[in-house]
Structure 1
Amino acid sequence: MDFTDVSLAGLRVVREVAERGTFTAAAASLGYTQSAVSRQVAAVERAAGVPVFERRREGVRLTTAGRVILRHAAAVLDEIDAADRELRDLPDETGTVRLGTFPSAGAVLLPRALTALRRTNPSITVVTRDGGTPVLVRALRAGSIDLAVLGSEPPFRPPDAETPALVTDTLTERNLCVAVPSTHPLADNDSIHVDDLRGQRWIAGRTSGDEPQLGVWPGLEGRPDVAHIARDWLAKLRLVAAGCGLTTVPAVIAAAAPAGVRVLAVRGGPEERRRVVVAHLPRPLPETALRVVEALRAAATQTGAS
C-alpha cells in the first residue's frame, strides 16, 4: 500500500489520538467509536509500513515515524481547513449542490424549495436524484450526494448504524393521512375515524423484502385487503382517483393529490407521526448547501400551513 493512499479522515484521527493520548479520548472527541479510530490508525500504519503509535497501558505515544507523519499531516490538514474557511467566507458563492430525496418529496416540497432558491440564490445549481432511505444514505456515505431528504417514522431511529453518525435536521413532523376517492362515502368528511378503515380495499407499495409497505393504515386488525401494488406514489394516487381503493400518504404531498382524490386526517387510535428530515455527513456544510437546507425548511413550513 502507498502512503499517498491515506485518507484525510485517517490523518485527522492520527492527529486527534496524538493530542488526546488515548484512542478512547480521541473517539469521544471525534464522535467515533473506538473501533473506528483503531481501524483508521491501522490503515495509516499499513500505508506507512511502520507503527505510528507505541501502545502503552496508560495510553499511546508517537513513534519516531509517527512524529514525521504527524508533522506532515498537521500541515496538510491546516491547509485544507484554511481553504474551507476561505471558501465559506466568499460572498455570493456559486456552486452545485447534489440533493437526494425520497420519491414523494418531489411532489410538493422539492419544487417549492427549488422555486424559492432560484429567486433568492440564482447562482446555486441543485441537481437531484430520488431513492429510498438505504440508497440515499449509501450515496451520502460515498460522497456522491451532499444532502438527503428522508422520510422517517417512529421510533425515529438514525438513518443507519454507521459511524460517525449522520447529522439530521427535522424539516416537518405531521400525522399520516389517508387518500380516498372523491366518490367514496368517507370523502364527505374532513376527517375519518380509524374504525372506518377496517374492511377497506388498499393500494400499497412494496419494500425490498417484497412485503407491503406505505399504503395500508398501520395496526389494522386482520389481513388487509390489498387490491393493487404500485411502487410509484403517483400511480397509487391515480388508482385511488379511479376508485380502486384507499392508500396512506404523508401529509407533505396532500397538495399534489390529483383530481378525484381527497386526503383526510385520521382520528382515533395511536397517532401515526411521520417526519421529513434532511441528512448530511458530520462536517460543516458549505454556504451553498446551507442555503438549500434553508429553502427546504421554508418549503416544509409552507407545506405544513397549506
Structure 2
Amino acid sequence: MAFTDASLVALRVFREVAERGTLTAAASALGYTQSAVSRQIAALERAAGAPLLERRHDGVRLTPAGRIVLRRAADVVDQIDATARELAGLPEESGHVRLGWFATAGAVIVPRALALLRETHPAITVTSREGSSPALVRALRAGTIDLAVLASVPPYRSLDTETPPLRVQVLTERSLCVAVPENHPLARGDYIDVADLHGQRWIAGAAQELQMGAWPGLAERPVIAHTSRDWLAKLQLVAAGCGITTVPRMLAPTVPPGVRVLPVRGGPSENRRVVLTRLPQPMPEPVARVAEAIREATLATDAR
C-alpha cells in the first residue's frame, strides 16, 4: 500500500489526533468511536510504512515520520477545503486568520485587538477559540490555528519538544497578584505581605492553568476551598467571600465589584509572561496584521 493511497478521511483524523493529543479526545471531537479513529490511524501508518504516533500513558506523541505527515496533511486538507469552497462559489478566505488564546487573554487582550483590527483592516476575518497552552501548541503544530496567545511561567522553557522550534514573542511580563474580597483583612492595605497568605482559603482552577489558583511556593499545602475552570466564576466566588485567588495583573480592570487585586511583597518574585506564538514560517499579510493588532492591544493594556 503506497502513501498515495492514503484517504482524506485518514488525514483529517490524523490531524485531529495530533491536535487533541489523545485518540479519545479526537474521537469525541469528530463524533467517531475510538476504534474507528484507531483504524484510520492504522491505515495511514500502513500507507506510510512507519509508525506515526508514539502511544504513551498520557496520550500520543508524533514520531519523526508523524511530523512529516502532519505537515503535509495540513496542507492537503486546507487545499481540499479551499477547492470545495471555490466549487461551491463561496469567496476565498485569503483574509481569514485563526487565533487561539488562553482564558485571561480572552478577557482583555483579544477583544481589544479585534476591535482595533476592525478599524484598521476590516476586510480581515478572525475566528478564535480558547484553550489551554498545551492544547493550543498542538493546534499550531496541526495547522488548525495560525497564531496563539499563550501563558508562560518561569523558567520559561520551550513550549514543546518538537522541531522546528516555534517562534515565540514575549508580549508582556508582569507580576502575579492576588484577588481578595474588598472587606477581607488582606484588602486593608495597598499590597499583601507573602507571610499573610499562609492559612488562607484558595479558589483554584484546573491543573493545567498557569495563572489562577493558590500562590506558588507556599510553605504549606494550600487549603483549596473551591475549584473552577472559569476565571469569572473564580472572581465571583472571591466577591462572595468564599476565598482568595491569584490573578494576572492585566485582569485588574475586569474584576467584578467587591474584589480588590493587590500585589504581593516578600519572598521570590512571581512573574508571568504572555507570549505570541506561531510556526517558524513567513506570515501571510493577514496573519501579520492580526499579530500587530495583538501587540498593540497588549501595549495598551500594560499602559493602564
The TM-score normalised by the length of structure 1 is 0.69
Q: 2:259 aligns with which of 258, 261, 264?
A: 261
Q: 1:239 aligns with which of 234, 237, 240?
A: 237
CA pair 111-212 structure 1, distance change in 2 beyond 3 A: closer
Give the deviation of 1:196 after TM superposition. 1.4
Greater C-alpha radius of gyration: 1
**What pairs with 1:171-182 in structure 2 (closer than 5 Å)?**
171-182=171-182
Q: Give the AA of the match of 1:169.
A: Q
1:169 corresponding residue in structure 2: 169
SS at match of 1:176: strand
Q: Give the AA of the match of 2:218.
A: L
2:218 corresponding residue in structure 1: 220
1:118 corresponding residue in structure 2: 118
Q: 2:288 aligns with which of 259, 270, 290?
A: 290
Deviations 1:44-75 (A, max 9, x none): 9xxxxxxxxxxxxxxxxxxxxxxxxxxxxxxx
Q: In the aligned structure 2, how far is the partner of 1:167 from the partner of 1:245?
A: 38
Deviations 1:181-227 (A, max 9, x none): 1111221222111111111111001226xx99831001111111111
Q: In the aligned structure 2, how far is the partner of 1:168 from the partner of 1:257?
A: 29
1:74 corresponding residue in structure 2: none
Q: 1:251 aligns with which of 243, 249, 252?
A: 249
- Stretches of structure 1 that go unaligned for 5 or more consecutive residues are 6-34, 45-92
Q: In the aligned structure 1, how far is the partner of 2:210 from the partner of 2:275?
A: 23
Give the deviation of 1:177 after TM superposition. 0.7
2:44 corresponding residue in structure 1: none
1:277 corresponding residue in structure 2: 275
Give the deviation of 1:297 after TM superposition. 0.9
SS at match of 2:160: coil
Q: In the aligned structure 1, how far is the partner of 2:239 from the partner of 2:295?
A: 30
1:148 corresponding residue in structure 2: 148
Q: Is the 8 A contact 2:104 2:251 kept in 1?
A: yes
Q: In the aligned structure 2, how far is the partner of 1:157 from the partner of 1:144?
A: 23
Q: Is the 8 A contact 1:240 1:246 kept in 2?
A: yes
Q: In the aligned structure 2, how far is the partner of 1:149 from the partner of 1:220?
A: 28
Does 2:280 correspond to 1:305?
no
Q: Is the 8 A contact 1:178 1:264 kept in 2?
A: yes
1:79 corresponding residue in structure 2: none
SS at match of 2:128: strand
Q: Is the 8 A contact 1:204 1:213 kept in 2?
A: no
Percent identical pairs in the alignment equals 60
- Stretches of structure 2 that go unaligned for 5 or more consecutive residues are 7-62, 73-92
Q: Give the AA of the match of 1:287.
A: E
1:129 corresponding residue in structure 2: 129
Q: In the aligned structure 2, how far is the partner of 1:118 from the partner of 1:212?
A: 30
Query: After TM superposition, where is structure 1 displaced by more than 2 Å over at least 4 residues in a row?
Result: 2-5, 211-214
Q: Is the 8 A contact 1:206 1:213 kept in 2?
A: no
Q: Is the 8 A contact 1:204 1:228 kept in 2?
A: yes
SS at match of 2:237: helix
Does 2:197 correspond to 1:194?
no
Q: In the aligned structure 1, how far is the partner of 2:118 from the partner of 2:188?
A: 39
The TM-score normalised by the length of structure 2 is 0.69
* Greater Cα shift, 213-222 or 196-205: 213-222
Q: Is the 8 A contact 1:207 1:213 kept in 2?
A: no
